[in-house]
């Protein structure tokens, strides 16, 4: 299904019992964040808050839009539906479908106006706190308006427009603070181009988009690639964009809320801390670039979209589970590696990957690891587990079994030593964070290629030790043995995840 806006997606979530309308009044100060966080913990439906203390009737907040589902065999239902798949779609189907769709490009269509223009406030009329911006975690540096959205900025030389998801804290009614790292595309635009020239960088923030648009803001798309075209390709239909009121940028016409303005050079204000995707609250605030707002537009009865980052699993972890796995898998296939599947457990907050592969030659795992770490999509995979093709990487029972029986505690573990990193990682020292230093490690859980075949232990599983006719007989007579339907599952051959 192709959604025209967020409201259509909300209707589908409700039809599939993946949404709860919270009709009792809630407080924007911590209560909203606590409910969203609890919904992740229980894998409960996404909460749609319909009555927020101190704000007009009709102003709403949607939390946990892509959180995991509690329903058996469809944990990725919300993500699957956001991409147009059946809610029952499994990991492999979603990954393969995403790989195919992201290769096509459908240019956006520019329209004269759209729902995001129903209310327009410019200059002194702007007041960010006219919206029910939540104070999410106790200990946050302020109220965060940007947690599930995208920020558009333009390269002043090539005019390439980048969409990215960067946290945005409200400082006052016309100012926001942003964690803007130099290794990100927005950081490249600002620190390498606008600021050295003494020029302000224009921005546009789109909140409450049809799901694929926000999804694209949260994933890595290579530089100089138009994210609006990628979104169109994944949707299978061109995205409608409309020009901003005060900056030379375009945003989805059906966005619920649009914030426009400039990031002036060399101006800083305190931003943070904030409960981050790693599952920890940052310890301190620091001076960061500021976003000066020149215009605010929104739909009638606007719906804010929020993620409550913290201990996994939240929306960010769900997205990276599929997208980062798909990107790494596609990259390795293009390089000719005999990969069967790649999986990023959502609890690993995108930093742990499990790769199932054939092993064509000795020391192959190390060769594979360097290829992953050397790629844009795999460079933040600090922990890499490589398993044989008979192991299902999505089945943690099998992965842990392979890890403890096939990974040699000495020769099976390889660390890069000092290498590039990002400062958000909690295990880094203050010095390492300041200097972007870290390390990466690979666990080789494959059988050594130079071992004689008869030295490789035989897998003692139902599908591997017993002859096929016995397997068929047992499966056919399973209920006759006295087992009920609730026990009719196998624990585990390599399944299709």
Question: Would you please indicate which residues are annotated as catalytic (active-site) residues?
Answer: 276
Measure Cα distances from 218 to 163, 258, 323, 415 in Å: 9, 17, 10, 29
Structure tokens at 79: 């993500």
End-to-end CA distance of the chain: 23
Backbone angles phi, psi at 174, to 5 degrees: -130, 15
Strands 60-63 and 303-306 turn out to be parallel
Strands 60-63 and 201-207 turn out to be unpaired
In three-state secondary structure terms, 251 is: strand
What is the H or E stretch that residue 415 is in?
strand 413-415
| Alpha-carbon dihedral sign for residues 265, 269, 270, 276 | negative
User: What is d(CA 497, CA 16) in angstroms, rounded to the nearest whole number?
Assistant: 22
**Which of 429, 306, 358 minimizes the C-alpha distance to 33?**
306
Structure tokens at 137: 């975690």
In three-state secondary structure terms, 87 is: coil
- C-alpha R_g of the chain: 24
Would you say 440 and 386 are in contact if contact means Cβ atoms under 8 Å apart?
A: no
Measure Cα distances from 408 to 413, 431, 448 in Å: 7, 32, 10
What is the H or E stretch that residue 387 is in?
strand 383-388
């Amino acid at each position: 299904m192709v959604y025209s806006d967020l409201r259509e997606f909300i209707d589908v979530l409700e039809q599939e019992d993946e949404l709860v309308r919270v009709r009792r009044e809630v407080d924007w100060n911590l209560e909203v964040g606590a409910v969203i966080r609890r919904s992740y913990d229980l894998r409960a439906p996404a909460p749609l808050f319909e009555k927020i203390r101190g704000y007009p009737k009709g102003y709403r907040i949607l939390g946990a839009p892509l959180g995991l589902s509690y329903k058996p065999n469809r944990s990725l239902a919300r993500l699957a539906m956001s991409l147009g798949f059946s809610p029952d779609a499994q990991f492999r189907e979603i990954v393969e479908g995403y790989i195919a769709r992201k290769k096509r490009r459908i240019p956006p269509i520019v329209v004269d106006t759209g729902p995001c223009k129903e209310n327009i406030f410019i200059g002194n009329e702007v007041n960010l706190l006219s919206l029910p911006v939540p104070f999410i975690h106790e200990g946050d540096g302020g109220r965060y308006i940007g947690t599930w959205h995208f920020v558009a900025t333009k390269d002043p030389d090539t005019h390439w427009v980048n969409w990215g998801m960067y946290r945005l804290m409200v400082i006052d009614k016309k100012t926001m603070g942003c964690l803007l790292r130099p290794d990100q595309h927005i950081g490249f635009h600002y620190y390498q181009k606008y600021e050295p020239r003494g020029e302000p960088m224009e921005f546009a923030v789109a909140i409450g988009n049809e799901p694929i648009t926000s999804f694209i803001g949260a994933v890595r798309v290579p530089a100089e690639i138009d994210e609006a075209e990628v979104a169109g390709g994944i949707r299978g239909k061109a995205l409608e964009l409309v020009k901003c009121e005060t900056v030379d940028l375009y945003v989805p016409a059906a966005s619920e809320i649009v914030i426009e303005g400039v990031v002036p050079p060399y101006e800083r204000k305190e931003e943070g801390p904030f409960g981050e995707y790693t599952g920890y609250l940052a310890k301190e605030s620091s001076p960061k670039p500021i976003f000066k707002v020149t215009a605010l537009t929104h739909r009638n009865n606007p719906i804010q979209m929020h993620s409550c980052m913290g201990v996994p699993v939240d929306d960010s972890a769900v997205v990276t589970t599929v997208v980062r796995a798909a990107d790494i898998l596609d990259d390795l296939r293009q390089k000719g590696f005999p990969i069967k599947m790649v999986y990023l457990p959502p609890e690993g907050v995108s930093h742990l990957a499990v790769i199932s592969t054939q092993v064509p030659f000795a020391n192959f795992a190390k060769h594979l690891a360097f290829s992953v770490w050397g790629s844009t999509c795999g460079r933040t995979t600090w922990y890499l587990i490589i398993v044989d093709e008979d192991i299902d990487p999505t089945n943690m029972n099998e992965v842990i079994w392979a890890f403890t029986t096939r990974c040699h505690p000495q020769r099976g573990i390889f660390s890069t030593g000092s290498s590039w990193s990002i400062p958000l990682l909690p295990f880094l020292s203050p010095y390492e964070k300041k200097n972007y230093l870290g390390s990466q490690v690979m666990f080789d859980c494959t059988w050594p290629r130079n071992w004689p075949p008869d030295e490789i232990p035989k897998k003692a599983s139902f599908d591997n030790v017993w002859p096929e006719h016995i397997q068929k007989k047992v499966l056919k007579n399973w209920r006759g043995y006295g087992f009920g339907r609730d026990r009719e599952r196998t624990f585990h051959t390599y399944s299709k995840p």
